[in-house]
Amino acid sequence: MLENARPDKGTVSMNPEECKGCGLCVASCTPQVLRLSENLNRNGYHTAVYIGHGCNGCGLCYYACPEPGGITVYKRVGQAIGFGGLPLVEVKYAQATR
């Protein structure tokens, strides 16, 4: 990591067994940190994957995903004390309404 680089504001966890490869999360991702994998899941779909950096934790991918449990978004919260001192917490974006 570069010395002047800021830590990501969030991260995404994809569930490849729930993903149907529709690409809606990839299209909705404004930082463009999601892509469709070249590998297939057990159902024969090219699943969405997180490239590993650059997520802002906005949750647009979560809202675009038609599969409950397909995507979990984690976002850094709180005030920073030093470089990268914020923990990641799971953000429950309206899961109760799905």
Which stretches of the chain are DSSP H helices? 24-28, 60-64
**Do residues 67 and 20 lie in contact, with contact meaning Cβ atoms separated by under 8 Å?**
yes
Provide the pLDDT for residue 80. Answer: 52
pLDDT band at 76 (very low <50, low <70, confident <90, very high): confident
Rounded CA separation 3/42 (Å)? 41
| pLDDT tens string 2-57 | 555 667 888 899 999 999 999 999 999 999 999 999 999 999 999 999 998 999 98
> Considering the entire predicted model, what is its pTM?
0.74
Residue 1 has pLDDT above 90, yes or no: no
Cβ contact 37:88 at 8 Å? no
Q: 10-97 has which CATH code? A: 3.30.70.20
Q: Domain map of the chain by residue range?
A: 10-97
Q: Please compute the mean of the pLDDT values over residues 61-80 and round it to a whole number.
A: 84
